[in-house]
Chains A and B, each alone.
Chain A
Amino acid sequence: MIRELQGRIWKLGDDIDTDIIIPTQYLAINTVEEMKQYAFSPLREELAGLIQNGDVIVAGKNFGCGSSREQAPEIIAALGIKCIIAKSFARIFFRNGINNGLLLIEAADVHDNCSEGDTVQVKLNEHITCNGKTYAIGKFPDNLLSIIEHGGLVKSMIRKNSGARR
């Protein structure tokens, strides 16, 4: 599992809802790979095409609010984002993000002290470093850490099922 990572920042505001992350009209597209080009299109049409593997989203409060659509974290992961740092996350998005192997980290002050294009470093369960400043971050509860360690809930369940057969 990823314990440390570093990436380029895409900066988004408060209350980025799941209709912005992926509008309803694209939800019935067959695969996440075809769907991901429409990510964030109501807000910044060009963004999906610019995000590169390993980039990090830094957002304001209540990231992922609104609908429970899991396509939202799944297309973000499909764009190559491994980690989202936000002032806070909406709860369904938080569960869905962890289940899809995204690292979701709550940090109050990073957003106000970074710009788009800056580099950010994350050390899981310890701290975030950005522009020479270090920010302490919380620890994941054990049950979530175990899902993250297995690489998401699907892999976690596969382990459980294969273990049960043995």
Chain B
Amino acid sequence: MTLAEQIIARNTSAYEAKAGDIVMVQPDNVMIHDIFIPFVVRKFQEMGFSRVWNPEKVVIIYDHLVPASKIEDIRHFKIGENFAREQNITRLHKSDGVCHQLMCEKGYALPGQLVFGTDSHTVTYGALGVFATGLGYTDMAAILGTGETWIKIPETILVQIDGRLPKDVYAKDVILQIISDLKADGATYQALEFVGSAVDEMSVSSRLTLSNMAIEAGAKAGLFYPDEKTRSYCNVSSELISRFSKQENSRYKKILYYRAEAFVPVVALPSNVDKVKPISELGRIELDQVFIGSCTNGRLEDLQIAAEILKGKKIKDGLKLIVTPASRDIYQKAAQNGLLNILAEAGAIITHPGCGLCCGRSGGIVCDGERVLATNNRNFIGRMGSPNAEIYLSSPAIAAYSAINGVISNH
């Protein structure tokens, strides 16, 4: 069985799970974020439910709208708080960071579990060996009422990466290249499974970057087998980790082999994530703004990489550099070890933890004709404000160098 099949078999208490079968599953946890909460509550009521099936399995997180930038946003917060109170949901985070970072950080998504969330980047938890995927508010409302939903067990594309990544190549370059090879719909309805010696070497933070962007190839999940690093990050038993491993008889829809040494620093061009080019072929692209943050690349590791490059330097005159740590915990650690100070001295605007500019609601929205380089996961038309702005995507390292030079660059 593939990892997706192993996790679903465990969830359904079945001896075996097979791609293509439609099965009823019972999620270990579900997550609802602020933009969706009023809609979930309304559908829940319309369906005729009054009690959540198990309040201990529900997490509500405010992140897209925090702090409120429009008067209407507050309605979302109030509805969420009332619903949490009524239903005895205690895991409510009002300003602690991006939902996906918190789900992983707080132990709400653990190896072998099955988790649904109302945001498409719920696939992030796959880095921890969690079968996690996004749903809409109607599906979520039905799960809140019944504790179950149907899924079609996905076929899996194996992505094997062996060897050592070059020094100037990061997890973001790897996943952008894979998406470019698969294309934006190349993994639709399917799971990705990442294996190989380069993957084993990756930190949990880097794996989260890969899983986070699995959805940009249309994938239902982006999975890693849990290992010692996962065990330590999640604080779970070795026995639990040992239940999931790559099996000889697994059937894959497709296998992509990569030599780690062959990856190069890349950038995704406006306005599709799969429109990827090596930075060496890019030419001169002048920038108005750089954004370092999001559930893709707003972790401590990312801020560290950026700070090392920006230490003692100044960003280009007239350019705006916005840094948004993905969670309160990351923010505090980055403050304690001096990273925020280095970034601020270089000229960065450091914002509160949350989705920030990635969802185009606050923290540096752009106007017609502006050009942004960002470390998040999407560069769609209008994503950060004006539909006539251009959004490029890159690693935090390229983002930091580019902020200094004012043009997209890698040194």
Contacts and interface: CB of A to CB of B under 8 A. Distances in A.
Interface of A: 15, 17, 19-20, 23-25, 27-30, 41-43, 61-62, 65-71, 73, 88-92, 95-96, 99-100, 141, 143, 152-154, 157-158, 160-162
A62 B218 contact: yes
Interface residues on B, range: 35 or more
Interface centre among B64, B220, B381 (most CB of A within 10 A): B381
A116 to B, nearest CB: 20
A158 B120 CA distance: 26
Contact of B184 (A43, A62, A92): A62
B112 interface: no
Contacts of B118: 68
Given A28-B76, A158-B46, A23 B142 contact: no
B120 A157 contact: no
A24 B39 contact: no
Contact of B48 (A30, A62, A88, A157): A157
B72 A65 contact: no
Interface in B368-411: 378, 380-383, 385, 387
Given A19-B378, A19-B381, A24 B136 contact: no
Interface in B118-164: 118-120, 122, 133-139, 141-142, 145-146, 150, 152
Contacts of A95: 135-136, 139
Given A68-B135, A157-B145, A162-B48, 6 more contacts: A28-B35, A61-B185, A62-B218, A71-B39, A89-B188, A157-B49
Contacts of B75: 28, 30
Contacts of B65: 28
Interface centre among B35, B70, B146, B360 (most CB of A within 10 A): B35
A35 to B, nearest CB: 11
Contacts, number: 129
B410 to A, nearest CB: 28
Given A17-B380, A28-B65, A68-B119, A152 B138 contact: yes
Given A19-B381, A161-B49, A153 B142 contact: yes
A42 B150 contact: no
B351 interface: no
Interface string B53-85: 000000000001100001011011000000000
B305 interface: no
Contact of A68 (B48, B136, B189, B381): B136
Contacts of A25: 360-361, 385
Contact of A67 (B49, B72, B119, B133): B119
Given A68-B119, A88-B188, A23 B136 contact: no
Contact of B387 (A28, A42, A99): A42
A89 B188 CA distance: 8
Nearest to B137: A70
Contacts of B272: 15
A19 B383 contact: yes
B126 to A, nearest CB: 15
B9 interface: no
Interface centre among A20, A69, A71, A92 (most CB of B within 10 A): A92
B134 A68 contact: yes
A67 B46 contact: no
A30 B72 contact: yes
Nearest to A28: B72
B352 interface: no
A135 to B, nearest CB: 20
B63 to A, nearest CB: 13
Given A91-B218, A92-B135, A95-B136, A157 B185 contact: no
Nearest to A164: B48
Contacts of B10: none
B48 A143 contact: no
A66 B379 CA distance: 10
Contacts of A162: 48
Contacts of B145: 157, 161
A1 B189 CA distance: 26
Contacts of A17: 378, 380
A42 B119 contact: no
A20 B271 CA distance: 11
Contacts of B184: 15, 62, 65
B370 to A, nearest CB: 15
Q: 10 nearest interchain CB pairs?
A: A70-B136, A62-B185, A96-B136, A157-B47, A161-B48, A42-B382, A42-B387, A68-B134, A99-B138, A68-B120
B349 interface: no
B47 A158 contact: yes
Contact of B46 (A27, A30, A41, A154): A154
Interface centre among B47, B76, B361, B381 (most CB of A within 10 A): B47
B106 to A, nearest CB: 21
Contacts of A158: 46-48
Contacts of B360: 23-25
Contacts of A62: 184-185, 188, 218
Contacts of A30: 72, 75
Given A29-B72, A42-B387, A65 B359 contact: no
B22 interface: yes
Contacts of A15: 184-185, 272
